[in-house]
Structure 1
Amino acid sequence: MRDVSAAGLEATIREYFDGCNEADAEKMIRCFEPDANHYFPSGAPQGTFFGAKAIAEGWVNAVKTFGSIWTIDRVIVDEKKREAVIEWTHFKPKAGVYLRGDEWYIFSERGLIKEIRAYYACPAIQEPVQNHMIGDYDYKGLGYPMDPPEIARDV
């Protein structure tokens, strides 16, 4: 069981990012429930990472391929809900680019990461898409609106 205080949840996120930057798969895996998922915008080239091992392998591969380095730029934690939101930068020195975005974290009762939903500050794909959302995420099943609500307007 990990520390589930606000400081403890933030520490888990920071340990996970340290593991990413060190390309240390085991360090990353220790931060997650085994069946955790990391969702990305629909059309993102890597797709969804299903499971702690896939999450770790994905970031180890990013370090090898792009020389990836990540920073945590802002953190907000809701201790009672065991949720957090961070703002990050993902530098890819070998490609000469960087990405900025946010991630929503959901933690288990044990203080391990169960889910990450990534939101990019820019489109993940070049071709036009009709709807912008995270790929493989069950918006409808989780009760998110799928159609705009009826709103009375004078315009």
Structure 2
Amino acid sequence: MVHLDEGVPHMHLMFVPVVHTKDKDGNDIDKICARDFWKGQDSYRKLQDAYFNHIKSKGFNLERGMFVEDTDRKHYTVEEYKKITNYENTKKVLKEIKLEIPEVPNINEISKFSTKRDEKILKEIIKPKDDLIKELYNVIYHCIKKYQNNPKLLMRL
């Protein structure tokens, strides 16, 4: 399925890394081996290129994605990513959520505690991120509509 949830339409694929090799007796075999499959820094790009060429050869009108060096995108360190995603605040909010359960809880009361916890997680973590996602989706949606209806604008980019 093609995802249109980001700036560039894309697909997520899962596969099993099979390599062609020989067994102990010298017979040709296929075996699952990620270590032997992923060789070199550009092996993932080679896989994408091979997939693209195979799909095109079957008559599908697939566009090859842009190479990372042709874009302004950058990879973030784990520390940078955590800062961007507000990881520390999320961790803090989750830590602060305390369920005060009496020593001998009434079974009927237990659901109230988990409901309060869930409401706090929803309100302080999920809702703000969900709102941001909706806002970004609307911006992207309006940009797509703008450029679809006026292809000349695309030529200026």
Name the TM-score, length of structure 1 as normaliser: 0.21
Q: Give the structure, 1 or 2, with the largest relative contact order (CA under 8 Å, sep 6 or more).
A: 1
- Structure number with the higher strand fraction is 1
- TM-score, scaled to structure 2: 0.21
Give the greater-gyration-radius structure (CA).
2
